Amino acid sequence: MVFEVRYTDLAARIGRLETPHGTVETPAFVPVVHPVRQTISPSFLKKMGFQIVITNAYITFRHYGDEARRRGIHDIIGFDGAVMTDSGGYQVLEYGSVEVEPAEMAQFEKDIKSDVPIPLDKPTGYGLPYEKAKEYVRITLENCKETLQVAGDTGAVWVGPVQGAEHYDLVEHSARALDQMGFQLMALGSPVEVMEAYEFATLARMIARYKKAIPAKPIHLFGAGHPLTIPLAIALGCDMFDSASYMLYAKDDRYMTPQGTVRLADLTYLPCQCPVCSSYKVDELRRSLPKDQKTIEVAKHNLHVLKAEVDACKQAVMDGRMWEYVMQKARAHPRLMEAVQLFGGEEFRFLADNTPAFKEKAILLFDAIDQHRPEARRFRQMVATTTFRPKKTDMLILFPEGEVRPFYATRAFKELAKKFPGAQIATYNPFLGVIPAEVSDVFPAAHNLAGRLDRKIEDYPAFVESLDAFLENNSFEQVIIVADGFMKQYTEKKKLKAGRVEDYSDHVIDRL
């Protein structure tokens, strides 16, 4: 398998996955296509720009049998791009079992020339007791071993289905075991019920635990077809995701928007300019069309929304704005905000691994969660672990960050340097912590824009931690702080420790 990563931001990445039927650019939404009843033709999906679709090999096996072996899956569904096949895991989740053995299904997927075949797995779903989930993981791993004995070297990209759901240690165990078997593309199973319960924090932890185990290999997310979950999944490093949501929602008269879904009956206007919405007025779409035709038109609209969401995420990666974009989208639902609030924890440190060290555009800083974005963390870590103390003096002067960057080019810096020759001079920022003048032109010190809001020191523990570490590492004998409202909270919190912190904000420095 060839998977080439071209651009990255957070754990999101724009890549190229090579398959026997063409290259797939990732991240990619993979529409579900029914192998027998195709309400929207795969040729239409290809014209829309979808380079890969997924269909059900088990249904194909039951309905077509040897005919599918003769014709191949691409001819069966009428799609000449890459085809991914589910071997019946969805049916196992729904009905408990299927009437086929793992090796038999693997041979069938091989015979029909699937580009991205999935072994017959035993999905854990959501809410399963730990021991039962553990048993399902064991069965899945055994099935995968049987599958690899049949798979051979045909050029197909076999998928390792990672199970475990909310039992995160099982997710990690499953991922490592499949990695050792040699699977090159992984797929995280059982998220549908998690997402239907709006447990986005659980989903985020599932992905994070997988990333802990297997950080580099591409990962597919089963059943992710809601416009709100796509940015979260991409930001956390998911490269592909499939769903039939575009059609299932349409059958239920649910109209997708970038913020979620609404029922057609609740719409007064069509807030979209896709070809479907440009061709109808809301009343025409709602009342004038026959039921089947309305379903098709709404499904096409939903596909446009899903594709647009993926493309918006790709552009955010190219612009170095993935953090801003996922935070913006998260504000559409409180449970999504629960998920992104986790980004400040240790288990999500992997988000920094592929975030560029330098960006062409300034980072935007809005509220407390932004102290945890990788660029801010990286800068604070660099300052906290570097000795800046000058040889000529034991004095540190901390000055509020102004509008002009870098600080050493400002009048305030020049006057401070003249009055206190040889002193270490630095500014401070609630998000970046201490900014020594020497590095005030380094990204993102001179490349950030923060809102001018009143902020509470208790909401910015990273600032306190980094400032304390900087002071400890450099052991200044005298610290002069020109305190703004934010810094005054720090000095009050520290109770002006004798010999270490002295607040001159009401004295001479305030008049410079």
pLDDT, averaged across the chain: 91
Q: What is the pTM of this model?
A: 0.92
Residue 55 lies in a domain: yes
| Residue 4: count of CB within 10 angstroms of its CB | 12
* Mean pLDDT, residues 29-47 taken together: 94
Identify whether residues 379 and 239 lie together within a single domain: no
Helix (H) or strand (E) holding 428: strand 424-429
Structure tokens at 106: 């693997």
Q: How far is 323 from 342, CA to CA, in rounded Å?
A: 13
Tell me how far the alpha carbon of residue 269 is from its chain's centroid: 31
Q: What angle do CA 74, 118, 26 make, to 5 degrees?
A: 75
Condensed to tens digits (0 to 9), the pLDDT of residues 166-199 reads 999 999 999 999 999 999 999 998 777 888 888 9
Identify whether residues 335 and 433 lie together within a single domain: no
Top pLDDT among 366 and 97 is at: 366
Whole-angstrom CA distances from 479 to 135, 178, 351, 380 are 60, 55, 35, 19
| Residue 364: count of CB within 10 angstroms of its CB | 16
Identify whether residues 442 and 404 lie together within a single domain: yes
**Final residue of a structural domain among 346, 376, 405:** 346
Residue 293 lies in a domain: no
Residue 36 lies in a domain: yes
Of 40-49, 111-120, 359-368, 379-388, least confident by mean pLDDT is: 379-388
Q: Which domain holds residue 62?
A: 3-252+324-346
| Residue 155 pLDDT greater than 70, yes or no | yes
* Mean pLDDT, residues 496-500 taken together: 45
Q: Is 8 helix (H, G, I), strand (E, B) or coil?
A: strand
Q: How far is 8 from 14, CA to CA, in rounded Å?
A: 6
Report whether 509 contacts 397 (CB < 8 A). Answer: yes
pLDDT value at residue 222 = 93
| Residue 498 pLDDT greater than 80, yes or no | no
Report whether 183 contacts 214 (CB < 8 A). Answer: no
Identify whether residues 342 and 464 lie together within a single domain: no
Residue 452 lies in a domain: yes
Identify whether residues 89 and 163 lie together within a single domain: yes
DSSP string, 167-208: -HHHHHHHHHHHHHHT-SEEEE--HHHHHHTT-HHHHHHHHH
Condensed to tens digits (0 to 9), the pLDDT of residues 286-331 reads 888 999 999 999 999 999 999 999 999 999 999 999 999 999 999 9
* Mean pLDDT, residues 65-72 taken together: 95
Q: How far is 47 from 27, CA to CA, in rounded Å?
A: 18
Identify whether residues 437 and 475 lie together within a single domain: yes
Both ends of the chain: CA-CA distance in Å? Answer: 63
Closest CA to 157 of 186, 189, 179: 186
Which one-letter amino acid corresponds to residue 136? Y
Q: How confident is the model at residue 501 (pLDDT cuts 50, 70, 90)?
A: very low
Residues with active-site annotation: 86
Identify whether residues 92 and 225 lie together within a single domain: yes
Structure tokens at 177: 């075991």
Residue 132 lies in a domain: yes
Query: What percent of the chain lies above the pLDDT cut of 90?
Result: 77
Residue 470 lies in a domain: yes
Condensed to tens digits (0 to 9), the pLDDT of residues 382-434 reads 998 888 766 667 889 999 998 899 999 999 999 999 988 889 999 999 999 99
Q: How far is 511 from 274, CA to CA, in rounded Å?
A: 58
Report whether 263 contacts 294 (CB < 8 A). Answer: no
Which one-letter amino acid corresponds to residue 422? G
Plot region of 152 (φ>0 → left; ψ -120 to 50 → alpha; else → beta): left
Residue bearing tokens 């560029």: 356
| Residue 251 pLDDT greater than 70, yes or no | yes
Contacts of 417 (CB under 8 A, 6+ apart): 423, 425
Contacts of 322 (CB under 8 A, 6+ apart): 9, 10, 12, 234, 235, 313, 316
Identify whether residues 342 and 438 lie together within a single domain: no
pLDDT value at residue 508 = 36
Residue 313 lies in a domain: no
Identify whether residues 340 and 371 lie together within a single domain: no
Number of domains in the chain: 2
Q: What angle do CA 72, 75, 81 make, to 5 degrees?
A: 95
Tell me how far the alpha carbon of residue 330 is from its chain's centroid: 11
Identify whether residues 387 and 465 lie together within a single domain: yes
Structure tokens at 455: 């902020």
* Mean pLDDT, residues 137-157 taken together: 93
Q: How far is 137 from 133, CA to CA, in rounded Å?
A: 6
Identify whether residues 432 and 480 lie together within a single domain: yes
Residue bearing tokens 């980094």: 466
Q: Is 214 helix (H, G, I), strand (E, B) or coil?
A: coil
CATH number for the domain including 450?
A: 3.40.50.10630
Residue 260 lies in a domain: no
Report whether 168 contacts 206 (CB < 8 A). Answer: yes
pLDDT value at residue 77 = 96
CATH number for the domain including 45?
A: 3.20.20.105
Identify whether residues 456 and 337 lie together within a single domain: no
Closest CA to 244 of 230, 224, 260: 224
| Residue 91 pLDDT greater than 80, yes or no | no
Query: What percent of the chain lies above the pLDDT cut of 70?
Result: 94
Report whether 237 contacts 11 (CB < 8 A). Answer: yes
CA R_g for the chain: 27
